Amino acid sequence: MSASSVDLETLRHSTAHLMAAAVCELFPGAEYGIGPSIEDGFYYDFLLPGGTHFSDEDLPAIEARMHEIQGRHSQYQRSELARAEALLEFRRLGQRFKVDLIERIPEGEVISCYRTGDFFDLCRGPHVPETGAIPAFKLLHTAGAYWHGDETQPMLQRIYGTAWNSQAELDLYLERLEMARKRDHRRLGRELDLFSLSDELGGGLVLWHPNGATVRTVIEDHWRREHRRRGYQLVYTPHVAREQLWETSGHLGFFADEMYGPMEVEGERYRIKPMSCPFHILIFSSRRRSYRELPMRLAELASVYRFQRSGTLHGLLRVRGFTQDDAHIFCAPDQAEAEVAGVLDMVQEMMARFGFNQVEIDLSTKPAKAAGQDEMWELAEAALERAIQTRGLDFKLNPGEGAFYGPKIDVHIRDAMGRRWQCATIQFDFNEPERFGLEFIGADGLAHRPMMVHRTLLGSMERFFGVLLEHYGGALPLWLSPVQVQLITVSDDQLDYALGVAARLEQAGFRAEVPDRPGERMQAKIRDGELAKVPYLGVIGKREVEAGTVNLRSTREGEQVVLGIDQLIERLRLEAAQS
């Protein structure tokens, strides 16, 4: 097998074994957990003997040993063992995590293993023929990981790495990683004074600062306008509800692990909401509905709370309290397919407005743990597939990955660094209308059961905001920037004129700022404006005051032009509409 023909998943899984072999040579007695390939790389989990730990500083030595083993051209040799034989072998090797995995394998399944030199592991494969067939790899960083993700289990150490079919591909990937490091939304959030997280407040809970709140308001105002334009009705619902409501909806049975525990209020148990669907259902069922009211589209920017383990929290991208751009469509069965197609159109338009012009679609079908009849699942899955096809979109099928109450469409976007993010979700639900006994009166005068479509467009505001920051590297387009124009005076003599220009811009609907720092040099103000990633800096000196103009500098394009105030407003209007 030539290097150019190696499947990346196979290559990366083989490199994970190569890394584990190196670790076991350097750290005798190391126990190893799982070592899968992942998107863009691989990882392996280890527990070192005697309570010792390795860190990122150990990675060069591990990498050097990997190259040494690679030079031995050790074969990846597959073998199959009987269950008892496999248990005996891994107990002999002192590999308790492998014993645990074998004990979880159903009786009768083939147990395959691979040997690479002295390293022996439980593994399905496949692998490259020998270690010399791995062209290029790099170890990246370490992290902690509980065995099986369970905090009651041992904490292992995880080493992440990446592998590619050429050094050029590896170098390009490492460049992208460095770009991602510089664009990390957590760093940008601090530097641009957008948001913060606090241990005092609690993990996964976000404090929005004035600049961040401004951007969020712009996003939410656009979201509301687009929903009203498309026939949605905006609603508000409470943050808590009686526990009985979550029992009726099925969330306590299917979603309890991600819900916060109950609170006692006057002898009744309440739960903080993880999602809004039961609330919107109660709005629909608050009075008798006619077929003439369908489809009924209810939308809400809803604050919800879900329990996430502390080790999984990550800036804005994974939090415990977030605002979900939630909507539920109640419709007649023959309207459902068209409604889903309409949501797909809305997703594409919304993503394009934020600078994401390509969407990728996954269709997920019935999971093992599911509510509802097979016939309804089949009908719903077929309707989703037709809705995708009518829009001429390709999709990837994910069997068994649907929600417990219905199949779903997940829409992904690619950021400026090529990373894939899930944002929009569209889910059929024929389960909750049944559980709540929802009805509408049809044209025949009889009661009928409505279909229900759950959907989000942006996902959570927090996560989407983090993705936006990294996509643009903090330099948000004009219409989203918290400060769109910063007016900088050459001396304090021009301050009154600058304040007047700012007032004109504010009246025209633009966000302008005049740094009022007496005695500070103009160049220092310009530097601060550039660091704050303000799109335009308007420099004002004696000449501009006399002419009624602004010397406008673009921090993005490097352009510099002198404009009258009306010309400046018109320029901003055109750019804000197009960006």
Residue 80: how many CB atoms within 10 A of its CB? 10
Residues forming a β-bridge with 121? 114
The CA–CA distances, whole Å, from 323 to 154, 216, 320, 350 equal 34, 11, 10, 17
Does the pLDDT value for residue 4 go beyond 60? no
Report, as an integer, the average pLDDT of 397-411.
Answer: 87
- Cα separation, 359 vs 362, in Å, equals 10
Report, as an integer, the average pLDDT of 342-361.
Answer: 93
Residues 372 and 430 sit within 8 Å (Cβ to Cβ): yes
Report, as an integer, the average pLDDT of 158-173.
Answer: 95
Residues 248 and 436 sit within 8 Å (Cβ to Cβ): yes
- Cα separation, 15 vs 357, in Å, equals 35
| Tally of residues, the chain | 579
373 or 277, which is more confident: 277
CA angle 471–475–480, rounded 5-degree value: 90
- Cα separation, 420 vs 68, in Å, equals 35
Q: What is the DSSP string of 233-245?
A: EE----SEEEHHH
Residues 346 and 457 sit within 8 Å (Cβ to Cβ): yes
- Cα separation, 260 vs 241, in Å, equals 12
Phi, psi (rounded to 5 degrees) for 279: -70, -45
Radius of gyration of the chain (CA): 29
Q: Which residues are tagged catalytic?
A: 277, 306, 324, 326, 328, 408, 454
The answer to whether 3-182 and 485-578 have equal CATH topology is no
CA 234 to chain centre: 25
53 or 64, which is more confident: 64
pLDDT grade for 1, boundaries at 50, 70 and 90:
very low
- Cα separation, 291 vs 524, in Å, equals 64
Q: What is the pLDDT of residue 5?
A: 57
Residues 260 and 202 sit within 8 Å (Cβ to Cβ): no
Q: What is the pLDDT of residue 391?
A: 87
Residues forming a β-bridge with 476? none
- Cα separation, 361 vs 384, in Å, equals 11
Written as six digits, the tokens of 366 are 């019935």
> Using one digit for the tens of pLDDT, what is the confidence trace for 270-282?
999 999 999 999 9
What is the amino acid identity at position 30? A
Which of 343, 330, 436 has its CA nearest to residue 384? 343
SS3 content of the chain, % helix, strand, coil (to 5): 40, 25, 30
The fourth-level CATH superfamily of domain 485-578 is Anticodon-binding domain (3.40.50.800)
Q: What is the pLDDT of residue 103?
A: 92
Q: Which of 193-207, 248-262, 439-453 bottoms out in mean pLDDT, i.e. has the lowest?
A: 248-262
Which class would CATH give 3-182? alpha beta
Q: What is the pLDDT of residue 383?
A: 86
Q: What is the pLDDT of residue 98?
A: 94
Helix (H, G, I), strand (E, B) or coil at 536: strand
- Cα separation, 545 vs 260, in Å, equals 59
Helix (H, G, I), strand (E, B) or coil at 11: helix
Q: What is the DSSP string of 360-399?
A: EEEEE---SS--S-HHHHHHHHHHHHHHHHHTT---EEET
Domain boundaries, the chain: 3-182, 214-238+289-472, 485-578
pLDDT grade for 579, boundaries at 50, 70 and 90:
confident
- The region that residue 375 occupies, defined by phi over 0 for left and psi between -120 and 50 for alpha, beta otherwise, is alpha
Q: What is the CATH number of domain 214-238+289-472?
A: 3.30.930.10
Q: What is the pLDDT of residue 45?
A: 95
- Cα separation, 450 vs 329, in Å, equals 10
Residues 122 and 87 sit within 8 Å (Cβ to Cβ): no
Q: Give the residue carrying structure tokens 């304040």.
A: 499
The DSSP code for 261 is: P
CA max distance for the chain: 92
Phi, psi (rounded to 5 degrees) for 491: -145, 175
Does the pLDDT value for residue 558 go beyond 90? no
Residues 408 and 425 sit within 8 Å (Cβ to Cβ): yes
Phi, psi (rounded to 5 degrees) for 341: -60, -40
Q: Which of 292-301, 334-343, 370-379 bottoms out in mean pLDDT, i.e. has the lowest?
A: 370-379
Q: What is the DSSP string of 521-533?
A: -HHHHHHHHHHTT
pLDDT grade for 54, boundaries at 50, 70 and 90:
confident
Q: What is the pLDDT of residue 47?
A: 95
> Using one digit for the tens of pLDDT, what is the confidence trace for 436-482?
999 999 999 999 999 999 999 999 999 999 999 999 999 999 999 99
Written as six digits, the tokens of 290 are 């006619």
- Cα separation, 253 vs 245, in Å, equals 12
Phi, psi (rounded to 5 degrees) for 252: -65, -30
Residue 110: how many CB atoms within 10 A of its CB? 10
Helix (H, G, I), strand (E, B) or coil at 73: coil
